[in-house]
Structure 1
Amino acid sequence: MTLAIIGGTGLTQISDLTIIGQKTLDTPFGAPSADYVFGKINGRQLVFLARHGNPHRIPPHKINYRANIWGLKQLGVTEIIAVAAVGGISSAMAPAHIAIPDQLIDYSYGREHTFFADDLEHVTHIDFTEPYSPDLRQRIIQAANDAGIAITANGTYGCTQGPRLETVAEIKRLAQDGCDLVGMTGMPEASLARELEMAYANISVVANWGAGIVAGEITMAEIERNLEIGMNKAIALLKATVLLS
């Protein structure tokens, strides 16, 4: 069992990761976002990938999700924990809070979203009833409990196109659809992992309230301040989860 961590906005590297090597890969789908970094946390080996590149330069709608996931599969990865910065919609999802979503709704468009598109011997469908792998989710939740890290152990992630933030009306629509969180990178990452039969779970770090939840504009200063707090919690949670792997 080989674990990979995909880091999103605010997590281009992990300070406690002892780096033992890195690898540049080319894939049939082009170049991944960055080199794959091999390292150890608490003595456990894992692979780390910066989703937006390192430095952070690739916007959500331009990420080569297929190359990223294909490369992890080629490296022998069987489990992926994806860390993502999100906006909070439901009342429990306050800035700097952490959630482990169990459902998602995909509002993105125009992204290369499947490996099963061309030169097929037969049409291939995947079961996506539970988009996040239950066993991996439960391990993360257990690690949070063991480490005393406050989380919300469920929630629905709404994936929008980006890179702009949403309007007040769009957040209202997401809330009416049942979304608790809004992010820009949750799909097609999750479904691509399922297509290649890798376990996948998400750690969502709330960077800000969604538009209109509280009064005023959303500022980058606010997002960066909340992410600094939230990502420190996420790193502690990752370390605790690795111990259970």
Structure 2
Amino acid sequence: MSGIWGLIGGTGLSALDGLEIESEELIQTPWGAPSAPVVRGRIGGQTVCFLARHGHPHRIPPHRVNYRANLWALREAGVDRIVAVNAVGGIHPQLQTGTFCVPDQLIDYTWGRASTYFEDDLQSVTHIDFTSPYDESVRERLLAALKAQNIGCLPYGVYAATQGPRLETAAEIRRLERDGADLVGMTGMPEAALARELGLAYACLALVVNPAAGKATEVITMEAIEAVVLAGMQQVKAVLQRLLQGPPHA
């Protein structure tokens, strides 16, 4: 695989250590404007394009993100493989606050979101194979980068994508757990499916920022989540640096 790495995540990643920013471009798409400009730069000899999923500043809630425009803009920028960074709640016992997961499956509980490019003026109905929603080659690169940085993670897991923007109830989390979910977030879909429709190799690096509802006695607060994000983002940056400094065309 050759081409350009794309990173989707929070605005903190735009300050990725060692990133030499070359340009910022707000790419217009048939689906409207993306959440933010595509920031193009280089790190470790690799060209990388970064897009802030929630805008800059962080202001677009999960159910209002223009996922179609975001993925289209990254493809127009020349990206062919994507690492999506997601803050999630931990359901699996091993996914404690501050730990990482590279999921291999997902379940979509979202509704009402624009979730496909294949809906109007089609010459034929199109169905993508979504048996394995994450690209295995990108997953393996992520897992290797985590190992090289001595950062432990759960190397598999089922990501439950919920609607938001509210957090889930304890009963909802019990339901997700019965369904087989290991972690819960609000932005994993339709992002992953749209990447597949565009032929982009896509994988998720999930940082657990809180126990899912009912998994701890403490009240979940945004202050506590933000503190975990601040600390965990340093590890995220280290992992992404290692990933990008790998073999250029691996």
What's the TM-score bracket when you normalise by the shorter of the two chains?
over 0.9
Structure 2 CA distance for aligned equivalents of residues 191 and 37 of structure 1: 23
Structure 1 CA distance for aligned equivalents of residues 12 and 84 of structure 2: 11
54, 66, 72: which one aligns with 1:52: 54
- For residues 28-47 of structure 1, the aligned pairs below 5 Å read 28-47=30-49
The alpha carbon displacement at 1:163 in A equals 0.3
- For residues 100-119 of structure 1, the aligned pairs below 5 Å read 100-119=102-121
CA contact (8 A) 1:12 1:56 kept: no
Q: Percent of aligned pairs with the same residue?
A: 50
CA contact (8 A) 1:101 1:156 kept: yes
Q: CA RMSD in A?
A: 1.1
Q: Which moved more, 1:40-49 or 1:153-162?
A: 40-49
Aligned to 1:144: 146
CA contact (8 A) 1:84 1:204 kept: yes
Aligned to 2:206: 204
Question: What 5-or-longer segments of structure 1 have no aligned partner?
Answer: none
| Number of residue-to-residue matches in the alignment | 244
CA offset digits 1:47-101 (Å, max 9, x no partner): 0000000100000000000000011111111001000100011111111111100
TM-score of the pair, normalised by structure 2: 0.95
172, 175, 178: which one aligns with 1:173: 175
- For residues 56-71 of structure 1, the aligned pairs below 5 Å read 56-71=58-73
The alpha carbon displacement at 1:185 in A equals 0.2
Aligned to 2:89: 87
Structure 2 CA distance for aligned equivalents of residues 24 and 13 of structure 1: 15
Secondary structure at the counterpart of residue 15 of structure 2:
coil
TM-score of the pair, normalised by structure 1: 0.97
Question: What 5-or-longer segments of structure 2 have no aligned partner?
Answer: none
Structure 1 CA distance for aligned equivalents of residues 184 and 151 of structure 2: 22
CA contact (8 A) 1:98 1:230 kept: no
Structure 2 CA distance for aligned equivalents of residues 225 and 98 of structure 1: 16
Aligned to 2:28: 26
CA contact (8 A) 2:13 2:237 kept: no
